């Protein structure tokens, strides 16, 4: 089964609104990463948050991590049509570099 | 221009045929990965390699094979033993150190004729 589970599976918002996506995982992690995937393309790394960090910002992106609840959230503020994509969380666990991806949230931003 | 190059973008396989997907990187990264993505799904790890001449099976290695003869190259062969090969295949590379993101190619879409 997947280590990470994103919620919701799909999200549709108007341009200018904020979008929030959640990720829950099952086992202890070294770090958690968020990626974006445009249709038919590869994944693009957005933010990496380490297990000892609680919040991280990058431009219009804000990621939080709650290790006690084994969950993370990705907030995109003032969304744009170009933000339309699928968003995946990925967790790094164990002593070797094995990253496990969740099932993704499909975001649609309506102009 | 640094990055991961996957080729071809589209590939068609006949029944009983082996096909090889190419992945080349010029990022000088030690670790490379192959993932499979089915429609509406996340990524599942097929094989990974942390160093030249060494590779490990991932979660769904059956019916696939890889080689890592050069740091820059990590080709994936989809063998005839893989009964359901239709999927989007993604290659990634990573610096090999802790807390580094993965860099992805643009994928190869494999279909059965």
B91-102: per-residue pLDDT in tens?
A: 999 986 777 889
Do residue A43 and residue B106 have CB atoms under 8 angstroms apart?
Answer: no
As a whole number, the mean pLDDT across chain B is 92
Residues A59, A62, A66: CA angle, nearest 5 degrees = 155
Q: Is residue A29 within 8 Å of A51, Cβ to Cβ?
A: yes
Among A40, A44, A97, whose Cβ lies nearest the Cβ of B96?
A: A97
Tell me what the mean pLDDT of segment B14-43 comes to. 93
Q: How far apart are CA B21 and CA B89, in angstroms?
A: 9
The pLDDT of residue A96 is 61
**Is residue A3's pLDDT more than 90?**
no
As a whole number, the mean pLDDT across chain A is 92
Among B42, B94, B103, whose Cβ lies nearest the Cβ of A88?
A: B42
B23 to chain A, closest Cα gap in Å = 13
Q: How confident is the model at residue B26 (pLDDT cuts 50, 70, 90)?
A: very high
Percent of chain A scoring above 70 in pLDDT: 94
Do residue B107 and residue A40 have CB atoms under 8 angstroms apart?
Answer: yes
Percent of chain B scoring above 70 in pLDDT: 96
Do residue A43 and residue B48 have CB atoms under 8 angstroms apart?
Answer: no
CA neighbor of B41 nearest in space, from A37, A35, A104? A104
């Amino acid at each position: 089964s997947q280590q990470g589970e994103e919620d919701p599976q799909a999200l549709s918002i108007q341009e200018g609104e904020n979008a929030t996506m959640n990720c829950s995982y099952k086992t202890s992690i070294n770090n958690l990463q968020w990626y974006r995937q445009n249709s038919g393309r590869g994944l693009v790394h957005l933010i990496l948050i380490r297990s000892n960090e609680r919040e991280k910002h990058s431009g219009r992106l804000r990621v939080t991590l709650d290790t006690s609840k084994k969950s993370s959230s990705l907030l995109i503020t003032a969304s744009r049509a170009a933000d339309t994509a699928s968003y995946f969380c990925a967790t790094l666990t164990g002593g070797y570099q094995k990253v496990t991806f969740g099932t993704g949230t499909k975001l649609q931003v309506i102009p | 221009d640094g990055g991961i190059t996957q080729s071809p973008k589209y590939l068609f396989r006949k029944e009983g045929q082996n096909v090889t997907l190419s992945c080349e990187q010029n990022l000088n990264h030690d670790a490379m990965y192959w993932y499979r993505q089915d429609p509406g799904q996340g990524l599942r790890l097929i094989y990974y390699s942390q160093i030249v001449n060494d590779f490990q099976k991932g979660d769904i290695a059956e019916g696939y094979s890889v080689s890592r003869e050069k740091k820059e190259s990590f080709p994936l062969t989809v063998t005839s033993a893989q009964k359901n090969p239709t999927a989007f295949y993604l290659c990634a590379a990573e610096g090999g150190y802790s807390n580094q993101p993965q860099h992805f190619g643009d994928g190869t879409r494999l279909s059965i004729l």
